[in-house]
Amino acid sequence: MFRYLGKWALESEELKFRKHVGKNHLYVFPLQSRRYDSRTTIFSPEGRLYQVEYAMEAIGHAGTCLGILANDGVLLAAERRNIHKLLDEVFFSEKIYKLNEYLLQYQEPIPCEQLVTALCDIKQAYTQFGGKRPFGVSLLYIGWDKHYGFQLYQSDPSGNYGGWKATCIGNNSAAAVSMLKQDYKEGEMTLKSALALAIKVLNKTMDVSKLSAEKVEIATLTRENGKTVIRVLKQKEVEQLIKKHEEEEAKAEREKKEKEQKEKEK
C-alpha cells in the first residue's frame, strides 16, 4: 500500500523526498522548497523576509490612493470600490484616542512625523515577532504642524516611512507616480491645481471605463484663521471637478485635431 502525504516540492530542478518504509506501508514526506515562507522572522539566504514582501505585494491589489502636497494645502484622493447603498460609512479610528491623549498631556497637537513614527513602530513590531502577521497595509498621512507646515507621508507594511511631495499607492500606482513626476510643478502647485491633477491621474489609472463621483473620495487639509481644517469634498464638488477635466480633455483633443489638419493642408 502507498500513501502520499502533502504536495510534491521541486527543489534545484529535482524531486527530493524522504522515504520511511514500515511493515506494510511506504510513507513519502516531501521537502518544502520555500522553507523561509513559514515564519515572519526568518531571513532567506538572500536576506529577504518573504512574509513582509507578500504584505507589500498585497497593497498593489488594493484601491488607488494618492496624495499631493501644495503650497496652500495638501490632499488625499482615493478610489472607492465598495459603493453599496446600504453600507454604513461611519467607522471608529484608534488614532483619535492617541491624538487626544497627546493633547491632554502636552497641551498641543502631536507633530505629524511623531504620529507617523508611532504608528510605524507598531507596524514594524508585527514583522519581528513569530506568530504575528505583518499588516498588509500601506498608509498615506497628511497633516500640518508648526515645525514643517503641510506634510505628506507614506508608510509600508515593514514600518518604513518617508516624506513625499506627491505619491500614490494601490492598483496601478507605478503609472500614477509616473504621471505625478511629469505633471507635478514644485513651488507652483496650488490646491486648485492639485485637485485637477488628482482627477487627471485617477482618470488615467483607475480600472473604470468612465470616472464618476461615486467611485472617488477626496479630502483636503488647509489652514484657515490659524486653525487646521480637514474637509471631505461632497459628491457634487467631485462631479464638477470631473466635468471640468472632461471639458479640458475634449478641448485639448479638438486643438490636436485642428493642428493635425493644418499640417496636412500644408
Q: Give the CATH number of the domain where residue 101 resides.
A: 3.60.20.10
Question: Within this chain, do residues 145 and 109 fall inside the same structural domain, yes or no?
Answer: yes
Question: Within this chain, do residues 23 and 140 fall inside the same structural domain, yes or no?
Answer: no
- At 52, is the secondary structure helix, strand, or coil? helix
Comparison of pLDDT for 84 and 29, the residue scoring more: 84
Total domains present in the chain: 2
Question: Within this chain, do residues 54 and 112 fall inside the same structural domain, yes or no?
Answer: yes
For the entire predicted model, the pTM comes to 0.78
Distance, C-alpha 82 to centroid of its chain: 16
Question: Within this chain, do residues 108 and 26 fall inside the same structural domain, yes or no?
Answer: no
Residue 111's pLDDT is what? 93
Does residue 235 lie in a domain region? yes
d(CA 220, CA 78): 12
Nearest to 69 by CA among 161, 216, 160, 167: 167
Does residue 45 lie in a domain region? no
d(CA 266, CA 264): 5
Residue type, 41: T
Does residue 43 lie in a domain region? no
Does residue 39 lie in a domain region? no
Question: Within this chain, do residues 8 and 111 fall inside the same structural domain, yes or no?
Answer: no
Q: Distances from the Cα of 13 to the Cαs of 52, 65, 192, 215, 235, in angstroms?
A: 27, 41, 57, 47, 56
Per-residue pLDDT tens for 141-172?
Answer: 999 999 999 999 999 999 999 999 999 999 99
| pLDDT at position 84 over 60 | yes
Domain containing 15 equals 2-33
Question: Within this chain, do residues 121 and 210 fall inside the same structural domain, yes or no?
Answer: yes
Does residue 55 lie in a domain region? yes
Per-residue pLDDT tens for 33-72?
Answer: 456 566 667 788 888 888 888 888 888 888 899 999 999 9
Sorted by sequence, the CB contacts under 8 Å of residue 59 that are 6+ apart come out as 136, 137, 138, 156, 157, 169, 170
Does residue 219 lie in a domain region? yes
Question: Within this chain, do residues 114 and 150 fall inside the same structural domain, yes or no?
Answer: yes
d(CA 67, CA 40): 30
Does residue 56 lie in a domain region? yes
Q: Which three cell numbers stand for residue 70?
A: 501644495
Sorted by sequence, the CB contacts under 8 Å of residue 56 that are 6+ apart come out as 138, 156, 157, 158
Question: Within this chain, do residues 15 and 75 fall inside the same structural domain, yes or no?
Answer: no
Hey, how many other C-beta atoms are within 10 angstroms of the C-beta on 201?
25
Question: Within this chain, do residues 209 and 100 fall inside the same structural domain, yes or no?
Answer: yes
Report helix angle 173-183 to 191-205, nearest 10. 140
Does residue 42 lie in a domain region? no
Q: Which three cell numbers stand for residue 103?
A: 493633547
Question: Within this chain, do residues 19 and 121 fall inside the same structural domain, yes or no?
Answer: no
Residue 261's pLDDT is what? 86
Question: Within this chain, do residues 9 and 71 fall inside the same structural domain, yes or no?
Answer: no
Residue 76 pairs with which residues in a beta bridge?
A: 67, 219
Per-residue pLDDT tens for 96-110?
Answer: 556 667 887 888 889
